Each structure stands twice: as structure tokens, then as C-alpha cells.
Chains A and B, each alone.
Chain A
Amino acid sequence: MKIAIVDYGAGNLPSVERALAKLGADTERAVDPEQLWSAKAIVLPGVGHFGAFVEGLRERDLTSSLRAAFDLGKPILGICLGLQAMFAASEEAPGEPGLEFFPEEVRALPTDVKSPHIGWNRLRRMCKSKLLRGIPDDAYFYFAHSYAAPASAQFTVAACDHGFPFAAVIERDHLAAVQFHPEKSGETGAQVLRNFVESVQ
């Protein structure tokens, strides 16, 4: 069985695809719900605007399938905007519902720090993490975002600070999400993806 990479019509899909292929993972681009059903795991990558993202999912009839896959316990990895889409809502697109795996709202980074938060930053580990296994505590990860979920969100296992403490890694049973870009975070990022791929073998 393959790992389905959700293709919602924009975003950084090729780089995620390439990074997974380098690890020997068998992937396919998922554009319809059928492919999500038959996949052994789902990767939800994303860059850009929260509103366009959730709309893109809805147009392709992927929203309800992702919710169903979540309910059935299929492993899902969200990346960057893919993490944000797992929340109930975002200040970036008021009134647009997210996937609602988590009840909190994604917030804009405050104006007293440089935004977007672009560059390499470190994490603050809060509890044991499957995704971060084998990665040193002081490792850097590449971030590029203007919105973030508060670190107080349930199931946050590692946080980062930029304006406010935000959720950098979230893990809940079969669900995992990262605010940074593992596909752009050098060897450290590759290890995160490797940990995910191995966990769904």
C-alpha cells in the first residue's frame, strides 16, 4: 500500500514527494477520496492561504474523507498549513472551518516580531515524541509561516517561540503534524519523515 500525498491543487507537493521517495517510500498523489481510502497513510502538505487550502479540499470532496480517515485511525501527517488545517479555524480566514481534529483556533503571529517567521529555529520538547526520535534536542528546523496554533493546544509535544509559544509538533495516536517543513530541514527533517514512514510500515 502507498502513502497518499494530498494534492489540493497548489503547494509544495513535489518537494514532499521527492523527500519521501529518497527514503524509499512508495507514494502517490491523491486527488480523490478513493485514493485516501486505499492508502496506508496520508500526508497533508500545504503552503499558502488557509482559506484557499480548506476550499481546495472541499472542492475535491476530500474534507469528509480526511475526517473519516481520522476517525478510522489511518495515520496522517500534516505539514505547515497541513497542521493548521487540522484545527477548527484560523484567523487567516474567519468563518472557514478547518478539519476540526483539534478544537483550537490558529492565530496570526503578533506584530511585535518579524512576520512571516522565516528561517531555522529550535524546538522546546514538552513530552516524548515519536516523530522526533533520534533527533538531538538542539536541532534546527526550517519554518516559513505567518500563523500558528498556540502551544497550549492539546497533544502538542514540542513547541517553538516566535511572538507567542506555538505548537511545532503535535502527536495524537495515529495523527501527527509539524509546523516546520521537514522536506526543507536538511538531514534533521529527513529523520522526521523517516520516523513517520517507519511508524506506518
Chain B
Amino acid sequence: MMLARRIIPCLDVDAGRVVKGIEFEGLRDMGNPADLAARYNCEGADELVMLDISATFEGRATFLETIRRVAEQLNIPLTAGGGIRTMEDGRAVLRAGADKVTVNTAAVKRPELLSELAQQFGAQAVVLSIDVKRKGNSWEPYTRGGRDATGMDATEWAAESVSRGAGEILLTSIDRDGTCSGFDCELTAKIASTVAVPVIASGGASTFEDFRAVFTDGRADAALAASIFHTATHSIGALKKFLAERGVPVRLSR
């Protein structure tokens, strides 16, 4: 028996709408979150991630309501986050209907937040998001949506976060994000072999082959993508069939 590799569509939400950026800049409207969530739930997505990328206070205020509307459409797990600073922020997201909360910037500033969340909600509900840029032979985590360099090392940060209670790592290559040049398999394999929790690869997905590569060479437990699913370039069902035919264990819908 073996865990299926997960396919996870991601909704980047700004003021109640799904948007998609290219290399963390420039946004395009991609539709209504609840509609997209319902479609993915039905197409065989294994989970859904929803990130609040609102730049304004008003945008943030609608996020919890968006989580509620999205959760109503799902019978698969939902991870939500973006701008989570405190334990109370985390609690609000989970109460609104998310199963897991993802944190990034606030955990870099105050790593104890991970332990606090894990103690309260369990490690399985805490996802550390790490956005990285390649720097020679290593990767540097960035915070605030890819704007601020941390001076840290991604591998060390991943290991520390797990020791503090992160139950999963959502690993995004900023270099690859929105470029359609494939996942950074070297990065994913490096982190996946370092930590004893599942790693979700993100950034750069374009072809079915990119997914196969990140599950084999990249040793990823799950792969996340946004634009290629939103635009219906690829259906999740067809992607899973492709993977199953090539020996990658996936959950095929009935």
C-alpha cells in the first residue's frame, strides 16, 4: 500500500476573485473561487489550496467569506492561508472551513508560531510555505510574496520548521512560477530528502511530463499548479490517467 501522489490546484484569491500572476507580478482575473473549486472537486483534484494575495485591507476582509463559500463546494481537503500572522488568524481560517492553514512570512519572523499552531490544531493542519529563489548551489527563502530576501537557506529552514511542528511543506520556486518551464526537480528532491514530512512542489508546471518528473526525479509527494488548470489547458482527469499509465500512483476518480 502506498500513498497516492496528489494533484493540487491552487486558487490565488484577491478581493474574492481568483487571479493569476506571472513570477509574482502582474495579475489576471481567472474567475469565481467557488465555481472553480466545484469544478476541481468534480474533476478529481486531491486537495485544494487557496491563498489570499490581497494587497488591501478590504480584500483581506472578504477572504474568510471566500473560504466558507469554497469549503461548501468541496468533499476534499482545503488548505488556506496568505497573510496569516497569529494563532487567531489561523483559527479563523480553520473555523471558516479550511482543514489546514499555511504560513510563510510570519513563521520566518517568529518560528514559534509553527509550534503554537501545531500544538493547538495538530501538525497535520500546519503547512509551511517556502518561496525560494536559486542562489548558486542553494536556494534562498523569500517572504512577503517573493519581495523580501531572508538570507536564510531553504534546506535549513525546512528542517527547522518541521522540528517546530510543520506537518507539510509547500515549496514554491519563484524562478519557475508562472513561466511554464517545469518544476524545479532538483530543489524539490533536495528538500524532500531532507525532511520527514510531505513536500508539495509548486511553480512552473506546464506539461503532463513536468508532473511525472517532479513525482519521480523530484520525489514530491504532491504537485500544485494554478494557471494550467484554470484555463482548462489540462484536465486533472487526463493528467492523472497519464501519470497512472507511467507507474505513478494516483487516485483515479470513479
Chain A interface residues toward B at CB < 8 A: 10, 12, 14-15, 18-19, 47-49, 111, 113-124, 136, 139-140, 142, 144-146, 160-162, 181, 183-190
Asked if B123 is at the interface (CB within 8 A of a chain A CB), the reply is yes
CB-based contact A146/B119 at 8 Å? no
CB-based contact A187/B75 at 8 Å? yes
Known: A119-B3, A120-B251, A188-B254. A144 touches B124 (CB 8 A): yes
CB-based contact B99/A15 at 8 Å? yes
CB-based contact B168/A118 at 8 Å? yes
Considering only CB atoms, which chain B residue lies closest to A117 in the complex? B3
Instruction: Give Cα distance in the complex from A160 to B246, angstroms.
Output: 24
Instruction: Give Cα distance in the complex from A116 to B195, angstroms.
Output: 12
CB-based contact B167/A185 at 8 Å? no
CB-based contact A144/B253 at 8 Å? no
Asked if B72 is at the interface (CB within 8 A of a chain A CB), the reply is yes
Is the contact region of chain A dominated by helix, strand, or loop, or is it mixed? mixed
Asked if B121 is at the interface (CB within 8 A of a chain A CB), the reply is yes
Contact with A along B97-134 (1 / 0, CB 8 A): 10100000000000000000001111111000000000
CB-based contact A146/B123 at 8 Å? yes
CB-based contact B221/A114 at 8 Å? yes
Considering only CB atoms, which chain B residue lies closest to A14 in the complex? B97
Give 13 pairs: A residue, B residue, CB < 8 Å, sorted on A: A10-B120, A47-B122, A47-B124, A114-B197, A115-B196, A115-B197, A119-B4, A119-B222, A121-B1, A121-B2, A142-B76, A144-B99, A184-B77
CB-based contact B124/A142 at 8 Å? no
Question: Which residue of B4, B95, B121, B125 is within 8 Å of A140 (Cβ)?
Answer: B4
Known: A118-B167, A146-B123. A187 touches B254 (CB 8 A): yes
Considering only CB atoms, which chain B residue lies closest to A144 in the complex? B124
Instruction: Give Cα distance in the complex from A115 to B195, angstroms.
Output: 10
Q: Chain A residues near B52: list those with CB within 8 A.
A: none
Least Cβ–Cβ distance between B7 and chain A, in angstroms: 10
CB-based contact A114/B122 at 8 Å? no
CB-based contact A48/B120 at 8 Å? yes
* 6 cross-chain pairs, A with B, having the tightest CB-CB distances, nearest first: A140-B251, A144-B124, A116-B124, A120-B4, A119-B3, A48-B122
CB-based contact B76/A184 at 8 Å? yes
CB-based contact A118/B1 at 8 Å? no
CB-based contact B254/A12 at 8 Å? no
Asked if B34 is at the interface (CB within 8 A of a chain A CB), the reply is no
Asked if B14 is at the interface (CB within 8 A of a chain A CB), the reply is no
Least Cβ–Cβ distance between B37 and chain A, in angstroms: 14
CB-based contact B1/A48 at 8 Å? no
CB-based contact A116/B99 at 8 Å? no
CB-based contact B76/A186 at 8 Å? yes
Instruction: Give Cα distance in the complex from A117 to B76, angstroms.
Output: 16
Asked if B71 is at the interface (CB within 8 A of a chain A CB), the reply is yes
CB-based contact A146/B4 at 8 Å? no
Known: A119-B46, A140-B4. A146 touches B124 (CB 8 A): yes
Contact with A along B45-74 (1 / 0, CB 8 A): 010000000000000000000000001100
Considering only CB atoms, which chain B residue lies closest to A112 in the complex? B196
CB-based contact B77/A144 at 8 Å? yes
CB-based contact B125/A48 at 8 Å? yes
Known: A14-B97, A119-B6. A114 touches B196 (CB 8 A): yes
